[in-house]
Amino acid sequence: MPIPSFQRFHLPPASNSSLLVTGGAGYIGTHTLLELIRAGYQPVVLDDFSNGSHLALKRVESLAGHTLQVVEGSITDTGLLDAMFSSAAEHGSPIQAVVHFAGLKSVGESVAKPLDYYQTNVAGTLTLLQAMERAHVHTIVFSSSATVYGIPLAQPYTESHPIAPVNPYGSTKAIVEQILRDWCAAHPAHRATCLRYFNPIGAHPSGMLGEAPEGIPNNLFPFITQVAVGKRPHLNVFGNDYPTVDGTGVRDYIHVVDLAIGHVKALEHSRRATTGFVAINLGTGRGTSVLELLHAFQTVSGQAIPYEFQPRRPGDIAECWADPSTAEALLGWKATRTLEDMCADGWRWQSQNPNGYEP
Ligand code: UD1
């Protein structure tokens, strides 16, 4: 891939840099593993496979031409974490940094089972940080979410927008950000980069990696692709009376490969950063309505997507998109893939893998 002109920072290659990637077998984790390997890192994956796939990791290995070290287990397992950090050090490749994806991620489920979410997302991260301290690992990149902002006071969201999550899932992300802020204040060597994702969609252009939700998808894009492949009869469009361009909800959809590259840039940033904690939006800065995404997908895929308007979904906001200027200034990163790329790559994945990673 050509090196975009906005890559202003040049650093020595990261070869032999061993990383722990928690939740590496999931949707964003697998795409990020590929980009990390390409950048010269050696990731060790920890995943409990509650929402991740062994086959996805096999495909990462085949795309990257690289064998991964994979450990099946939980971030809440202190003994396992200690053993992983010590084993890497004993084998001459001590873990230099952690990219932390592992966690529960369904907003609706978090309302029904808040304790599970606080246990895995908050207590799990604390356990991980304590193990990092024992192993003298000072750097973490954390999978946060634009969900931490809650009800928008203004658009686009900048990183200085108040943090006021409106559901337990969002609260776990906000609490972990606060823990990381305090952890960085406690020691000058600590580095934490919280990446606040907007709406990641699409798939790897090979068609071999993509999103594989269990059961009925909660999110718009995988629902559209499942209608296109004939698994669902039609799309329900939640609300056509919002004060937006066409009455449907507006979001900042970002290609998962752009998002993955953002993590590589965040690690590079940690190596040169002079301050400890930073939170950075990863979005495109463009808002797209439900109907605009639907039409783009139909054009790119050639598939008709029947849809019906339904009442607004409880808890949804009318519109949100990112101010991505901090990412460009600090990381030298910006999203380059278009809405058409997201649709084409997402459709290639879904049509070639109608059942995701299942046979
Ligand atoms: C949701 C989560 C957010 C998470 C993100 C991951 C909520 C409240 N927020 O964001 O925490 O980080 O997913 O991508 O769940 N829509 C339909 N029909 C559908 C599904 C969605 O019309 O079947 C509409 C929604 O009303 C919304 C837009 O599509 O306007 C996007 O929805 P979705 O993909 O679920 O993402 P968010 O709600 O923005």
Ligand 1: centre distance to CA 359 (Å): 27
The span from the CA of 97 to the CA of 8, in Å, is 23
> Of ligand 1's atoms, which has the minimum distance to the CA of residue 199?
14
Under CATH, which number does the domain 16-201+253-284 receive?
3.40.50.720
Average pLDDT over residues 156-169: 97
At 171, is the pLDDT very low, low, confident or very high (cuts 50, 70, 90)? very high
Q: Which residues are catalytic?
A: 169
pLDDT above 70 covers what percent of the chain? 96
Q: Domain coordinates of the chain in residue numbers?
A: 16-201+253-284
Whose alpha carbon is nearest atom 1 of ligand 1? 219
* pLDDT tens-place string over residues 182-216: 999 999 999 999 999 999 999 999 999 999 999 99
Please check the confidence at residue 298 and state whether its pLDDT lies above 50.
yes
Beta strands of 128-188 (E only): which ranges?
139-145
Q: Which amino acid is at 218?
A: N
Residues with CB under 6 A from ligand 1: 107, 145, 147, 199-200, 218-220, 223, 235-239, 249, 251, 290, 313, 315-316
Ligand 1: centre distance to CA 231 (Å): 19
* pLDDT tens-place string over residues 35-72: 999 999 999 999 999 999 999 999 999 999 999 999 99
At 359, is the pLDDT very low, low, confident or very high (cuts 50, 70, 90)? confident
Residues 6+ apart with CB under 8 A from 38: 64
The span from the CA of 216 to the CA of 236, in Å, is 12
Please check the confidence at residue 3 and state whether its pLDDT lies above 50.
no
pLDDT on residue 16:
60
The span from the CA of 76 to the CA of 188, in Å, is 26
